[in-house]
Chains A and B, each alone.
Chain A
Amino acid sequence: MKAKYLVIIGLLAATFAACSRDEESLFDKPAAIRAQEAIDNAFDVLTSAENGWEMAYFPNLEASAKGYNMVLKFSKNGNVSVTAKNSATTNNKIMTDTASTWAVKSDYGPILTFDTYNDVFHAFSDPKENGAGLLGDYEFLILKATPELVLLKGKKHSAYTVMRPMKNTDLAAYFTACEKMQSKLFGNNNIVTLTQGGKKMYLYNGAEGQFQSAAYGSPLVAEAATYHPVCATEDGIIVSMGFGEDIHDHIFYYNEEKGELKSEQGAVMNAGNLNVLFGAYFTDNALGWAVDYAGQEAVEELLSAVNTAMNNTSAKMKVMGYGYKQSLNMYEGGYFLLINFTYKQGKKNQEKKLVWTVDLTQDESGITVANAVPYDENTKTFLQQIPAAQAVADLMLGSYSATPLEGYLFNAAAGMKLVGEKELVVRGANNIKM
């Protein structure tokens, strides 16, 4: 009997529950209407920019990927005009194609598609003979569409592409400004320290259209690098992906006064602590540092003494110069100082390579170079003949603090000033051989 009651109660409950329609919808409108609204919004935003859009286009996220500047004008009739200037697809000339179409359609979200071939835009997607080409997308998921920013994600190759309304109405001036920014920030394969909160990392080799990143304070080893495509713009840089889990911003604005790039999230790229950077860069075996003395008078005096000594030898050698190949190198685990004298013996131009080992220590506060000891028999023999040459090597010894070169921003690779009792200018050089 009890069972019957339970059945009846259960049925009654189910009956009334069936009518229950008081569950609140998570969204205020049906999915189809929201999808159409997203499409309409994207269409309106894209067609409303008076001067069109600047696009920082990233074809893909492969290790070889780079960023490219393009300017697009979307017309309400479905026509799109695309202009670009780059070495990969336009032979560094400004090229425009106005005879293709675009659309916003629905897929798994609103999609921006360039659905007929545009000579400029689809040059990045053309599979060429290898079936891949530059692996660029021409259909994009629209992640954000506001009058200030459109954020896209390539449907097939997943790179993020950023569009902002064009401020510059002069296309030639726009591309020139982007090139200048590229040159200023990355022209010398600079190393940048990226800081966000307490976290830091190195970014380097930006001249190739992409950053490589490495942990702060670590050696910069290309094999272990993570690649980040980057595109220089009029006002800074745009990156396709953020940097790790903490830094998601795509746009970094350049502040000339501070010599830094800063994202809206507050991440900052600048030269960072050059003393630390010096060590990171120096430990890359492929590189050495060509050294100039800022105090040229002292060098001239020393060279004069060397010259006199050489001239006094039976060989009557006359020093022509030294310099470029004077370098600090790390080679097979040791630190070396190289000085090349060029001299004239009779009518012949000669070259003498002298090598010392040095002790190089370095921490966040500075760099110390000490104990220049002749390394090979050639150097020892020469110094026995011309002891004054030792003073040229000793001139480099001392403690220094690294500071940027005047007129440069992120100049660790291009060079830096080592300031101590003496002043040296060191420039990265990768063609110095022992």
Chain B
Amino acid sequence: MKSLYKILAVACLVMGFAACDNEQLTGESIFVDPVIDTTTYTYQFDKWLDKYYTEPYNVEFLYKLDDNATDPNYNVVPVSIGMADTLAHLALYLWYDVYDSVVGPEFLRTYGPKMIQLIGSSMMDPVNNTEKLGYAEGGIKITLLKINKMQLNNIDNLNEYIFKTMHHEFAHILHQQRNYPTEFAQITPANYDPIKWQERTYKEAWQLGCVSNYGSSEAREDFVEVIANYIVKPDKWWDNMLKEAGTEGAAIINQKWDICNTWLKEKWEISLDDLRTEVQKRQANLDWEMIMSFDEMLTEKRENAKE
């Protein structure tokens, strides 16, 4: 009798669990390769982005804004299609093709961001009087801000707001993948002020051994500011900074530069000076007609490389 109870109990349990087990999988994946819709208003641009970014670099170029992908604490607007197009050409000329030329075509495909997001406005914080121009997330995504306000004929404006931001954020992407030396943060730890950095002038920051006031906010920003400023700012600017920084400030900045330079060389096999020379050469020749048709030159270059 006891055995009968046991058999019944086991049978009930087996039936109970088996009762729900009648789902069938179809065998089809829910993931489908995205196809560019030929009927959309932005088809030509989307096709161009696919050809020059997604296909060669495995990067998604996000110019249609999804508000969920932004920081809800800020009010922002999308980028205009025209400015997105201009920025895409500019980044190809001054960023992607620079790395292709200096480091090699596989570098950005492997280590570059997997998403580039464009936003039309900056992120203003009126309380702290700060303006965010870009940010990098998780080693895979770069967001560039204030793109609608690009002053295409003002090299200083482009340098400060766009070019520097590109290299600044990309340097973040790199150190998010391979950490920067801990000794860097130990050079001027007492000078970092994440709350009131914006109250410092550039000169004050230089004298503290930082290349910019934002660089004086925290070590990781300081690290990428050294790289970004060195890449995009001309000799005259860099020399003036060292002069205005004073003996002590200049010595600290040079020490930081050495660490950045060594890190790029040892961890990434990148020559900071080669990168700078190439960027400066291209920045000095901002021929918009050439930049907007740079894609054609690139196609030719790639086809020649194949042959």
Give residues in A with beta carbon < 8 Å to B.
4, 7-8, 11-12, 14-15, 18-19, 75-79, 99-101, 103, 105, 107, 113-119, 122, 125-133, 135, 138-139, 155-156
- CB <8 Å contact, B41 and A77: yes
- Mask, B247-287, CB within 8 Å of A = 1, is 00000000000000000000000000000000000000000
CB distance from A121 to the nearest CB of B (A): 9
In the complex, whether B199 has a CB less than 8 A from a CB of chain A is no
A78 with B65: in contact, given A7-B9, A11-B9, A11-B16 (CB under 8 Å)? no
Interface: B187 (CB within 8 A): no
| Cβ of A193 to closest chain B Cβ, rounded Å | 37
Q: Once the chains bind, are A116 and B75 in contact (CB under 8 Å)?
A: no
Chain A interface helix/strand/loop/mixed:
loop
One of B51-59, B78-86, B98-106, B136-144 contacting the partner: B78-86
B120-136 interface bits toward A, Cβ cutoff 8 Å, 1 = contact, 0 = none: 11111110000000000
Q: Give 8 closest A-B pairs by Cβ, nearest first.
A: A131-B124, A79-B41, A117-B80, A11-B12, A115-B64, A127-B75, A18-B19, A19-B19
* Chain A min CB distance to B159 (Å): 21
Does B8 sit within 8 A of A, measured CB to CB? yes
Contact between B75 and A77 (Cβ–Cβ < 8 Å)?
no
Q: Inside 8 A of A8's CB, which chain B residues have their CB?
A: 5, 8-9, 12
Give the A-B contact count at a CB cut-off of 8 A. 112
Whether the pair A15, B77 counts as a contact (CB closer than 8 A) is: no
Shortest C-beta distance, B6 to chain A (Å), equals 10
With A78-B40, A107-B68, A127-B77 already in contact, the answer to whether A99 and B121 are too (CB < 8 A) is no
Select one of A114, A119, A129 contacting B124, CB under 8 A: A129
Q: Whole-angstrom distance from the CB of B143 to the nearest CB of chain A? A: 15
Encoded as 1 (CB less than 8 Å from any A CB) or 0, chain B from 1 to 44 comes to 00001001100110111011000000000000000000111100
- Assess the B75–A125 pair: CB atoms within 8 A: yes
- Tell whether, in the assembled complex, residue B78 and residue A116 are in contact, meaning their CB atoms are under 8 Å apart: yes
Question: B64-93 CB contact bits vs A (8 Å, 1 = yes)?
Answer: 111110001011111111111000000000
Whether B41 and A101, one on each chain, are in contact in the complex, defined by CB atoms closer than 8 angstroms, is: yes
**Is B40 touching A115 in the complex (CB atoms < 8 A)?**
no
Chain A contacts for B17, CB-based, 8 A: 18
Instruction: Decide if A116 touches B124 in the complex (CB within 8 Å).
Output: no
B63 within 8 A of A: yes
Q: Does chain A have a CB within 8 A of B148?
A: yes
Q: In the docked arrangement, what's the CA distance between A236 and B287, Å?
A: 54
Give, as a whole number of angstroms, the nearest-CB distance from B43 to chain A: 8
**Per-position binary interface string of chain B over residues 141-168, scored 1 when its CB falls under 8 Å from any chain A CB and 0 otherwise:** 0000000100000000000000000000
For A101, list chain B residues within 8 Å (CB). 41-42, 64, 81
A99-B82, A116-B79, A116-B84 are known contacts. Are A127 and B74 too (CB-CB below 8 A)?
yes
Q: In the bound complex, do residue A131 and residue B74 qualify as a contact, i.e. CB atoms below 8 Å apart?
A: yes
Count contacts on B: residues with CB < 8 A to the other chain: 40
Which residues from chain B sit less than 8 Å from chain A, CB to CB? 5, 8-9, 12-13, 15-17, 19-20, 39-42, 63-68, 72, 74-84, 120-126, 148
Nearest B-chain residue to A129, judged by Cβ: B124
B200 to chain A, nearest CB (A): 21
Bound Cα distance A77, B77 (Å): 22
A32 CB → nearest B CB, Å: 11
The minimal Cβ–Cβ distance linking A39 to chain B, given in whole angstroms, is 15
Q: With A8-B8, A133-B75, A138-B77 in contact, is A115–B126 under 8 Å at CB?
A: no
Question: With contacts A116-B64, A138-B67, A155-B67 known, what are 17 further pairs, Cβ within 8 A?
Answer: A18-B17, A76-B39, A78-B41, A100-B81, A101-B64, A107-B68, A115-B65, A116-B42, A116-B63, A116-B65, A116-B78, A117-B77, A117-B80, A119-B80, A122-B120, A131-B125, A156-B75
Cα(A76)–Cα(B40), bound, Å: 8
In Å, the complex CA distance between A80 and B40 comes to 12
Q: Can you name 14 A-B residue pairings with CB atoms under 8 Å?
A: A7-B9, A14-B16, A15-B19, A99-B82, A100-B81, A101-B41, A114-B78, A125-B75, A126-B120, A127-B75, A131-B74, A131-B75, A131-B125, A156-B67
